[in-house]
Structure 1
Amino acid sequence: MSVTQAVLLAVVAAVLGGVVTVALGKMAQRRAHGADEADLTMIDVLDRVVREAPIGIAVVDKFHDVILFNPRAEELGLVRHRLIEDRAWAAATRVLETRKPVELDLCTKPSLGREPVAVRCTVRPLLDRDPRFVVLYAFDDSEHVRMEATRRDFVANISHELKTPVGAMALLAEALLESVDDPDTVRHFGERVQHEANRLGNMVTELIALSKLQGAEKLPDLEVVDVDTVVAEALDRTRLTAENASITISTDRPSGYEVCGDRTLLVTALTNLIENAIAYSPSGSPVTISRSLRDGKVAIAVTDRGIGIAKEDQERVFERFFRVDKARSRATGGTGLGLAIVKHVAANHHGEITLWSKPGTGSTFTLLIPVHVGEGEDDETDLHAEKAVGS
């Protein structure tokens, strides 16, 4: 057996706890007696295991030569141009000298897309009886790091957002106590306390809703929902807000489309889109709602003629607590959770939410939910033709 074959066997045994060594040994015995005519050789199996392993694997010797590595080791930056990464080699040197395992982080600079940004590496002797080789295992911890960063951001954001109305209510309560002899002042500060309390209550309600949508609780059983009913209920919920802002909301004709989902959640999502359009539109401007069918999905589009959203902000508007215009949002009592809820409602209905926007022109948010096809409507074309005839 060559050095490379021995290294392969040792690596696989180390990864799988020696079980493969025994199994391959038995397979070799069977092949030697002619009992097994399989095409794969033992080296083929070893090579496949190492090459397709989900972790990076590399073996180096005391001369800094990379004896063996797999594609994942290159993807994670453990090996570059057939050379071991400098920090990994320093750790390997320590292991060669001390014969004791070493752990290290191979964190890279922030990257675009889904490239690994956090890599954990374990370095240990390959064989106790052979001091020449060291094996390095690299694990991609990027998703864990991203989730931890998201959790920290969420805790920081929610702490700040909850502290703001609570602090305001404390100051307003103090002002109330100092104005007990002035009914007009008491009424003014009382209304302000009520406004902040409502804002705090809305935020807690939306946080609970968001928690449910993200998997803390199972969604209710889905049912066939009439899209026109969803639009009508959302309009009813936002009518007073639109009137107070002097916003005119117009809609297209009823479509008759149906989707499979949770009516309450869909109404909440559409209500959030309409309220968002109202909040970021100048007084007297229109907001329109339209229904259409796109590639097997019902598209409910909410269009405003407001301030629009800069391109660099468009991917972030669905993040929790992100606000394009913080001053305007706080003035209107926004929680910064509305669009995040819309995103998760869409995802839980196997749909999506899209955005088109241009600063100074306006924005269009489109909620896309798979259409429910009833009996006798075999495909999207038949359904669309039937609606067109009915209109």
Structure 2
Amino acid sequence: MLVTVVVALVAATLGAVVGAAAVRRRAGAGPERSRGPTVAELLARLVRRSQSGIAVINRFGDVVLSNERAEALGAVVDARPAPRLAAAAEKVAAGGEACEVDLSPASHPPGSTPQTIVAHVRSLGDGFVVVDATDTSAAVRLEAVRRDFVANVGHELKTPVGALAVLAEAVLDADDPDEVAHFATRILNESHRLGALVTELISLSRLQGADRLPELVRVDVDEVLAEAIHRVRVPAEAAASAGGDDAGSDPRGRFLLDEPSGLEVAGDRTLLVTALANLLENAVAYSPEGTPVSVRRRRQGDRVEISVTDRGIGIAPEHQQRVFERFFRVDPARSRATGGTGLGLAIVKHVAANHGGEVRLWSEPGVGSTFTLRVPAAPAEDEPETPLHGLEAGLALTTAGPGTHPTPSVTGGTT
């Protein structure tokens, strides 16, 4: 039967050549015109260059047409359909309905992301079926992230909402004015925490969504640092003066700053202040009382670096990649006790990425941590502005000591 098919194809090709010659003869001896690609040639190009794996299988299980992508996705192996695909193609060729076949590899190399491959099998008639294989790994990962995010948000909102309900009942049952004041203060603290969580969720969704970063302007790094420190100090000083639960956490005097740099970056001032304030708050929250937090500003090539170093508990190597994930906490109890939402470092990462920069991390348990925000420096006044939107950016982990940052050993995109 295969020989018959080959003979038929050869005959069809010869017929096409003879027919084309006859047409040219009938056209006369006019000037020769360049002939464009035929429909068949265009279809062949379409199949070859398709991002999907395409294969045509006959009723005998032979692959009569395929592209390289079909082999890369495992739909075609050694010029034969994959075993799972062959069985499905046979059923469809015999008159069955179109079906979907999972071609995902059973295993994957250590450290790599599992691959999800789906093939759709449809009938072409006359005993032929077409296979359309697609790598859906990105969509599957996105759906998993969405489910995790919804679950995490629900969990994070449940804690303060539940606490508010319990504290409200305690206020209703309390007779002593001091008890009422105590529970009312705790209600206020929980409401502030809930408000901070909602605010950071909104900020993160804007950074990750389709909202375009506002027009970038020249931003003074020293002014950004001063505003970020002020933002960190004011709530702590207010809590200390009021004698609330956060009393004693006043970071006044804890920041050791280098000399004003005079550096400028091209960016959004509000977002940069937010990112730097999150780094400062994180350093204060995870440092022993009274230990300093150092801040250094410098220019490295075409980048401006702002490093925040603490002498705190440090981060274990297995957690260093994950601290930039939403809601990830190395010590959940400590984070909630300090009012953390688990979103601060995720916001820092996305602010850096939206500026065409990155955030780097060095940390050693028991020694401390250094987070470095790196963003493109503003061009000189006589240099043309360079668009910064859409540049490759992310986070990096380094292995050098505090305050020193060699070429990163690990880099990654937006989670």
Q: TM-score range by the shorter chain?
A: 0.7 to 0.9
1:307·1:359 contact (CA, 8 Å) conserved in 2? yes
Structure-1 residue corresponding to 2:154: 159
1:195 aligns with 2:185: no
For normalisation by structure 1, the TM-score amounts to 0.81
2:61·2:89 contact (CA, 8 Å) conserved in 1? no
1:173·1:193 contact (CA, 8 Å) conserved in 2? yes
Q: Quick check: 298-307 or 71-80, which moved more?
A: 71-80
Deviation of 1:276 after TM superposition, in Å, equals 0.9
Deviation of 1:103 after TM superposition, in Å, equals 2.4
Q: Which residue identity is paired with 1:223?
A: V
Q: Distance in 1 between matches of 2:255 and 2:197?
A: 25
Which structure has greater helix proportion?
1
1:236 aligns with 2:230: yes
SS of the residue 2:379 aligns to: coil
1:346·1:352 contact (CA, 8 Å) conserved in 2? yes
Q: Quick check: 297-306 or 369-378, which moved more?
A: 369-378
Pair 1:259–1:96, CA change in 2 (3 A):
same
Structure 1 portions without partners, runs of 5+: 8-24, 380-391
Q: Distance in 1 between matches of 2:324 and 2:107?
A: 22
Q: Distance in 2 between matches of 1:357 and 1:227?
A: 24
For normalisation by structure 2, the TM-score amounts to 0.77
Q: Distance in 2 between matches of 1:4 and 1:212?
A: 59
Q: Distance in 2 between matches of 1:230 and 1:62?
A: 69
Pair 1:134–1:116, CA change in 2 (3 A):
farther
Pair 1:239–1:31, CA change in 2 (3 A):
farther
Pair 1:173–1:4, CA change in 2 (3 A):
farther
Deviation of 1:186 after TM superposition, in Å, equals 1.3
2:173 to 148, 173, 178: 178
Q: Quick check: 292-301 or 270-279, which moved more?
A: 292-301
SS of the residue 1:369 aligns to: strand
1:212·1:219 contact (CA, 8 Å) conserved in 2? no
1:106 aligns with 2:103: yes
CA RMSD between the two structures: 3.1
Structure-1 residue corresponding to 2:305: 299
SS of the residue 1:98 aligns to: coil
1:245 to 239, 243, 249: 249
Q: Which residue identity is paired with 2:353?
A: A
Q: Which residue identity is paired with 2:207?
A: L
Q: Which residue identity is paired with 2:268?
A: D
Deviation of 1:160 after TM superposition, in Å, equals 0.6
1:54 aligns with 2:87: no
2:119·2:134 contact (CA, 8 Å) conserved in 1? yes
Structure-2 residue corresponding to 1:278: 284
Structure-1 residue corresponding to 2:94: 97
| Number of residue-to-residue matches in the alignment | 356
Pair 1:145–1:376, CA change in 2 (3 A):
same
1:204 to 193, 198, 206: 198
Pair 1:155–1:79, CA change in 2 (3 A):
same
Q: Quick check: 108-117 or 251-260, which moved more?
A: 108-117
Structure-2 residue corresponding to 1:365: 371
Taking only the aligned residue pairs, the percentage that are identical comes to: 55
Structure 2 portions without partners, runs of 5+: 10-15, 25-31, 241-247, 386-415
Q: Distance in 1 between matches of 2:203 and 2:112?
A: 29
2:265·2:376 contact (CA, 8 Å) conserved in 1? yes
Q: Distance in 2 between matches of 1:286 and 1:254?
A: 18
Structure-2 residue corresponding to 1:339: 345
Deviation of 1:96 after TM superposition, in Å, equals 1.7
Pair 1:330–1:35, CA change in 2 (3 A):
same
Pair 1:246–1:197, CA change in 2 (3 A):
closer
The C-alpha deviation readout for 1:261-299, integer Å capped at 9, x for no partner, is: 111111010000111111122223221111111231111
Q: Which residue identity is paired with 2:362?
A: W
Q: Distance in 1 between matches of 2:333 and 2:76?
A: 49
SS of the residue 2:145 aligns to: helix
Q: Which residue identity is paired with 1:366?
A: T
Structure-1 residue corresponding to 2:33: 35
Structure-2 residue corresponding to 1:78: 75
Q: Distance in 1 between matches of 2:226 and 2:108?
A: 45
Q: Distance in 2 between matches of 1:308 and 1:35?
A: 75
SS of the residue 1:282 aligns to: coil
1:309·1:359 contact (CA, 8 Å) conserved in 2? yes
SS of the residue 2:94 aligns to: helix
Pair 1:290–1:59, CA change in 2 (3 A):
same
Deviation of 1:210 after TM superposition, in Å, equals 1.3
